[in-house]
Amino acid sequence: MDQHSLLQMITDNEVKAIDLKYCGLDGKWYHITFPARRILNVLERGIPFDGSSIPGMRAVESGDMVLMPDIETAHIDQFFETPTLRMICSICDADTRIGVKKDPRSVALRAQEYLLSTGIADSSVWIPELEFHLFDTTQFNSDSFSSGYTITSCQTKDSLPEDWEDVDALSLDGVKGYHMDTPFDQFYEVRQEIVDLIEDQDIKVRYHHHEVGLSAQQEIETELLAFPRICDDVMIMKDIIRRAALGHGLTATFMPKPIYNHAGNGMHFHIMLHKKGKNVFYKKGGYADLSKEAIWFIGGILKHGRALVAFTNPSTNSFKRLLPGFEAPVKLFYGLANRSAAIRIPRYANTPESKRFEFRTGDGTCNPYFAMSAILMAGLDGIKNKIDPAKYNLGPFDDNVYSWSEEKKATLLSIPADLAEAMQALKDDHEFLLQGGVFNEELIESHIAMKMKEHEAVNSRPHPHEMMLYYNL
């Protein structure tokens, strides 16, 4: 889109306001809005703001930063009553207008530049699988004298909303919800509305369905989308899901494990590299028809997997999902069609055009700019250093490792057990992220410090279940 097209969009839609979105280190969107008449001034000069007020963002450069909008991300906002145009911004240095080292979006842009500089590929395409719950109500509190939460879902008899009368007998218990049909899939129309809104933003959806979790767990999967734009797209999709849910009196969450002993929410990433229009990962005759570059790329991800978790699973709740028995990978290895693996090679993706693999560890609490950039950097490090997964006992394994003996399972490299262990793994192994200036030491230190505060905030508080276990001892 050029400037003329943008101005035409503003005129055609009678736009009154321009809403600028940008991403903090915490993976949340922030925004600032200005009258549409100022658009040309802002495109040229940006919007100055105090970066020190955004958690973890203050850099050694200074607190003064500038938001520079990306004209290619311009879309009409679908939810505001006032005609509003949305653009996504990079956080830039006030003097140079260059993306600052700690801006998540600029990290992804630098990762793309680094990919091109290696000559390994000229593009990468990704499929993110967004899993989330739609709850009727959620209440929670945590203070010095009380702590707890209550979730209700009209789809499960175990936790029906107050005064809910299940006159149609659509609420269930004791079954799995995977691909559950209507009328029991009670939020099909809500999910379809969400998909329509996503596609209106030029993000192509592959399919959507009810997931395993009976209490209204959903999944939306896109088609292959180009990096780094896919990072913007994930932020847009999460925003649409939340806002559309609220419009129906529901609440959406991407928490990895919102309900004890039920299926959790992951965010799997399918990955493919291209060079001159050809799939770098395909080679007929290799294991699962993977090229040596694909094997090395996988080797890099798995070898650096414990450190990657610091970005792909950056919440205390992440590690309540990464448990055996829920199709959540806890061991770092790869295999063909193996859902116990951290990296699965889909059996159906068996042509030169479709050959790819799926990284199954991540979840929706991740900052997509950091998570996907880190995965890409680990894979490129694998290719540059020809990291063979077999050399490190990282696969391929095509059987269910959960059926192995405990002694044999212990030989596999494990996912970190909690957020603190993940941060230590990142502290010990992050040189691969610094290549090409994509990440830097200050960003990594800030991320570790922010996440350790979250770990300590949870770890230092009495847990409600501890009252059940220990109050009367």
The answer on 447 and 324 residing in a single domain is yes
Catalytic, 358? Answer yes
Q: Is residue 129 flagged as an active site residue?
A: yes
Residue 262's CATH number: 3.30.590.10
Task: Say which of 26, 93, 131, 381 is annotated catalytic.
Answer: 131
Name residue, tokens 């998540």: 104
Q: Calculate mean pLDDT across residues 341-354.
A: 94
**pLDDT score at 50:** 83
Domain assignment of residue 114, yes or no = no
The catalytically annotated residue of 26, 77, 93, 129 is 129
Residue 303 included in any domain: yes
Does 128 lie in the same domain as 206? yes
Same-domain status, 217 and 270? yes
Residues 290 and 351 in one domain: yes
Longest C-alpha distance within the chain, in Å?
73
132 and 247 in a single domain? The answer is yes
Instruction: List the structure tokens of 431.
Output: 């040189």
Q: Is 197 part of any domain? A: yes
Verify that 201 and 84 share a domain, yes or no: no
One domain, residues 69 and 218: no
Active site residue: 93, 103, 185, 358, which one? 358
Q: Which residue out of 37, 45, 97, 339 is catalytically annotated? A: 339
Catalytic residue among 110, 133, 210, 268: 268
Which listed residue (77, 185, 211, 289) is catalytic? Answer: 211
Task: Give the CA dihedral 236, 345, 295, 424, nearest 10 degrees.
Answer: 60
| Amino acid 59: pLDDT | 53
**Cα–Cα distance, 200 to 78 (Å, whole number):** 9
Name which of 154-158, 247-251, 296-300, 376-380 the model is least confident about: 154-158
Q: Which of 69, 100, 131 is the last residue of a domain?
A: 100
Task: Please report the pLDDT score of residue 62 as a whole number.
Answer: 56
Looking at the fold, whether 249 and 290 belong to one and the same domain comes out as yes
Residue 63 pLDDT: 64
408 CB-near residues (< 8 Å, 6+ apart): none
81 secondary structure, DSSP code: S
Q: Which of 34-43, 45-54, 426-435 has the least mean pLDDT?
A: 45-54
Residue 84's domain comprises: 3-100
259 and 307 in a single domain? The answer is yes
- How high is the pLDDT of residue 94? 86
Is 211 annotated as catalytic?
Answer: yes
Is residue 89 within 8 A of residue 69, CB to CB? The reply is yes
Q: Is the pLDDT of residue 446 over 70?
A: yes
Residue 113 in any domain: the answer is no
Q: In whole angstroms, what is the distance from residue 284 CA to residue 350 CA? A: 9
Per-residue pLDDT tens for 205-219? 999 999 999 999 999
Catalytic residue among 306, 360, 430, 447: 360
Residue 455 within any structural domain of the chain: yes
**Tokens representing residue 126 in the block:** 């990704």
- Position 369 in a domain: yes
- The rounded distance, in Å, linking the Cα atoms of 77 and 240 is 10
pLDDT at 125: 98
> Residues 75, 139: one domain?
no
pLDDT (0 to 100) of residue 397 = 94
Q: Residue 344 catalytic?
A: no
- The answer to whether the CB of 214 falls within 8 A of the CB of 185 is no
Q: Comparing 160-169, 347-356, 360-369, which segment has the lowest mean pLDDT?
A: 160-169
Q: Is 466 a catalytic residue?
A: no
User: What is the per-residue pLDDT for 339?
Assistant: 78
Do the domain assignments include residue 105? no
Count structural domains, the chain.
2
C-alpha–C-alpha distance, residues 458 and 418, integer Å: 12
- Residue type at 294 in one-letter notation: A
Question: Does residue 117 sit within a domain?
Answer: no
Lowest mean pLDDT among 51-65, 77-91, 306-320: 51-65
Residue entry with tokens 């448990």: 323
Same domain, 314 and 369: yes
Mean pLDDT of 253-268: 96
Give the C-alpha separation, 44 to 464, whole Å.
53
Inform me whether the pLDDT recorded for 60 exceeds 60. Answer: no
Domain CATH number, residue 20: 3.10.20.70
141 and 221 in one domain? yes
At residue 58 the predicted structure's pLDDT band, cuts being 50, 70 and 90, is low
**Beta carbons within 8 Å of 170's beta carbon, 6+ residues apart:** 154, 155, 183, 184, 186
Three-state DSSP class for 51? helix
191 is catalytic: no
Q: Is 406 a catalytic residue?
A: no
What's the mean pLDDT when you consider all of the chain? 95
Sort 251 into a burial class: Cβ within 10 Å, 0-12 / 13-18 / 19+: middle
Query: What phi, psi does 334 have (nearest 5°)?
Result: -130, 160
**Structural tokens at position 33:** 């809005």
Determine the Cα–Cα distance for residues 121 and 115; give it in Å rounded to an integer.
7
Is residue 402 scored above 90 in pLDDT?
Answer: no
Answer whether residue 133 shows pLDDT above 60: yes
Options 38, 50, 95, 113, the catalytic residue = 50
- Give the pLDDT score at 400: 82
Q: Which of 77, 103, 219, 381 is catalytic?
A: 219
- 374 vs 62, higher pLDDT: 374
